[in-house]
Amino acid sequence: MIADLTRAERQWAMMILGALGIVGLAMAVAGRNDLLGIHGWIVLAAGLGGFIAFMRGKDAPEPSDDRLNEYYDAPTRLGIILTLLWGVVGMGAGLWVASLLAWPELTFDAAWASFGRLRPVHTSGVIFGFGGNALIATSFHVLQRTTRARLPDQISPWFVLLGYNLFCVIAASGYLMGLTQSKEYAEPEWYADIWLVVVWVVYFAIYMRTLARRKEPHIYVANWYYMAFILVVAILHIVNNLAVPVSFGSAKSYSLFSGVQDAMTQWWYGHNAVAFFLTAGFLGMMYYYLPKRAGRPIFSYRMSIISFWGITFMYMWAGSHHLHYTALPHWVQTLGMAFSVVLLVPSWASAGNALLTLNGAWHKVRDDAVLRFMALAAIFYGITTFEGSFMAIRAVNSLSHYTDWTIGHVHAGALGWVAMITFGSLYSIVPSMWKRPSLYSAKLVEVHFWLALSGTVVYVFAMWNSGVIQGLMWRTYTESGTLSYSFIDSLVAMHPYYIARAFGGLLFLLGALVALYNVVMTIRMPAPATEDAALDIPVQPALQAGE
């Protein structure tokens, strides 16, 4: 990495890392009587560690200019590995919290191992650690291939990738120490939020600058989705996290919103995090890797347009369906439900566009587990979006809300759609990223596929059953007109499903471990691939005067 930078670029990087270290030191000093101080030390260690690495490598010879004639894939390679590592961490934490619900004594009386602290490690670990790294890694890859242009500079992709992972580490370590602003999927405190804004602005700039340098006349659909993901997540993140810190030496802050406005802002954020992080970004991934792997053209460009604008417009207004039958005014609930119902059409148009793209390639779906991952992802995307629109209907929501049905719905999307499209995409680029002829083992991909599918099915069915039983028990009345069941009765009824859910999660985690092993072994394979590598380069710039 360092050897690929010019001397001037190394100096820039050292300045950035030095500044980061100074910020960390300032946090450590200002927050010495607070948990903020511990995060200060982590930031300082990150900045200092990077700085020392550059000090040791700063005198390496200048890289050859040839590298600028190739795509910049080193950040993607690290991003792929980080994706898989965070996947194991996040899914492992998920298995733990799932087990905690079945066997509550698994906290071992340690505060950091309580459900409330481990649960955000799971959600952030899989959404931001696994999903976010996958999006960053693949977006850099797709962006360059579909614009025929190299990323605009050598430092900022690393800044985005490593800076983003620093955010993830701050977030996860903070949860274990009990730091949270209690907003679901937006738990990190103010200083982590500010850092993420900096990283995200640079990310968006990379996208815009590369698009400006593109050698293709048109911007491919995948890039619409990736850009929507980056832009909207920035807006959501900034607005929902507006807060006033207690002091600059304190990790604690108070949200700018309160009461029902806070709830509405949070779920406007929360639902659009699902929409733009977990849907739009991964649709971008699907739009590139699925047709590429299938060797088929996209079924309909026109349907892409309808779906894209339908999804981006409609999702924005759907968040209030998370607050049916609450203090939120009835009229806001009606609007949230109306938009959610219409949203089904562009969602299914996207899923349909993906599946119809496979026309003429279904034999490949049968034979190739990598493509099958992506085809299955599209099916789960369709199932989950139907379920989502259905659950957004107020009357349905009165049964499903606060039950495990919601958890089942989320995991149909997270396991079936997000993780499957990610694994399919990663498997399809790992060989070319490391210039290997193929993956280490196609059979292990097959094993992973069946582990992932059976894990998802066990998980989702357990939670559907559990959720519907819960919802029905809470609303069953005796002949005398009083409740038939106490809350604790419903907990007893959940227990077998919680064990089944943990088992489903275990299968899925095993699949992720198989994937990590397969990718590591692929990287360690000796044979370099030469085929096609010559074609996988940006369009060469014309010779410039003086060269």
**Footprint of other proteins on this chain (CB under 8 A)?**
145-146, 148, 216-218, 220-221, 288, 291-292, 296-304, 306, 310, 325, 329-331, 333-335, 337-339, 341-342, 344-345, 348-349, 352, 359-360, 478-489, 492
DSSP for 228-250? HHHHHHHHHHHHHT-EEES-TT-
Closer of 480 and 544 to other proteins (Cβ): 480
**Residue 287 to residue 291: CA distance in whole angstroms:** 7
**Residue 212 to residue 99: CA distance in whole angstroms:** 49
Q: What is the smallest separation between the CB atom of 372 and other proteins, expressed in angstroms?
A: 19
Q: What is the smallest separation between the CB atom of 389 and other proteins, expressed in angstroms?
A: 9
Closer of 221 and 419 to other proteins (Cβ): 221
**Residue 42 to residue 188: CA distance in whole angstroms:** 15
Closer of 450 and 487 to other proteins (Cβ): 487
Closer of 173 and 484 to other proteins (Cβ): 484
Closer of 95 and 337 to other proteins (Cβ): 337
CA terminus-to-terminus distance, the chain: 27
Q: Tell me phi and psi for residue 398, to 5 degrees.
A: -65, -25
Q: What is the smallest separation between the CB atom of 403 and other proteins, expressed in angstroms?
A: 17
- With tokens 């850099």, the residue in question is 140
Q: What is the smallest separation between the CB atom of 295 and other proteins, expressed in angstroms?
A: 8
Closer of 298 and 396 to other proteins (Cβ): 298
Q: What is the smallest separation between the CB atom of 216 and other proteins, expressed in angstroms?
A: 6
| Closest to 410 (Cα-Cα) out of 94, 176, 80 | 94
CA triplet 131, 133, 134: central angle to 5 degrees? 60
Q: What is the smallest separation between the CB atom of 67 and other proteins, expressed in angstroms?
A: 20
Amino acid of residue 214: R
**Residue 20 to residue 23: CA distance in whole angstroms:** 5
Q: What is the smallest separation between the CB atom of 308 and other proteins, expressed in angstroms?
A: 13
Q: What is the smallest separation between the CB atom of 291 and other proteins, expressed in angstroms?
A: 5
**Residue 16 to residue 46: CA distance in whole angstroms:** 11
Amino acid of residue 501: R
**Residue 362 burial (CB count, 10 A):** 13
Closer of 112 and 474 to other proteins (Cβ): 474
Q: What is the smallest separation between the CB atom of 345 and other proteins, expressed in angstroms?
A: 5
Name, in order, each residue with C-beta under 8 angstroms of 42's C-beta and a sequence gap of 6 or more: 24, 169, 170, 173
Closer of 121 and 142 to other proteins (Cβ): 142
**Residue 94 to residue 463: CA distance in whole angstroms:** 14
H helices of 485-535, where? 487-524
CB 430 within 8 A of CB 361: no
Beta pairing partners, 461: none
**Residue 410 burial (CB count, 10 A):** 18
Closer of 303 and 529 to other proteins (Cβ): 303
